Amino acid sequence: DGGITQSPKYLFRKEGQNVTLSCEQNLNHDAMYWYRQDPGQGLRLIYYSQIVNDFQKGDIAEGYSVSREKKESFPLTVTSAQKNPTAFYLCATDSGVSPLHFGNGTRLTVT
């Protein structure tokens, strides 16, 4: 999607390494979210941020960390503490008056 850019599209890491997934938006939306998708489980919320320099844990925050230093950017770090990091990660934004708008995802494979 042109408004939300997730990079890279595919990411491979060795077990025990931290890895950071990028999410950049030019929609001027205040709120940003990270979801994790596994087959047959729908989307689960990892972290979200409703304003710069503030963020909240979602339902499955353990093993992940985020920062929100700029309105446009909400990077997600998958740490070595995450026990099952291989998944499809989706970043999303909203303006508070419109539904969630998603990026095209990053597929992370950890071996």
Partner 1 sequence: GQQLNQSPQSMFIQEGEDVSMNCTSSSIFNTWLWYKQDPGEGPVLLIALYKAGELTSNGRLTAQFGITRKDSFLNISASIPSDVGIYFCAGDGTSYGKLTFGQGTILTVHP
DSSP letter string over 39-93? TTS-EEEEEEEEETTEEEE-TT-TTEEE--SBTTB--EEE-TT-S---EEEEEEE
Mask for 19-38, x = binds partner 1 (CB under 8 A)? ------------x-------
**Residue 100, interface with partner 1 (CB under 8 A)?**
yes
Q: Which is nearer to partner 1, 36 or 82 (CB)?
A: 36
Q: How far from chain centre, in Å, is Cα 36?
A: 7
The span of 11-19, 60-68, 71-79, 92-100 binding partner 1 (CB under 8 A) equals: 92-100
**Residue 2, interface with partner 1 (CB under 8 A)?**
no
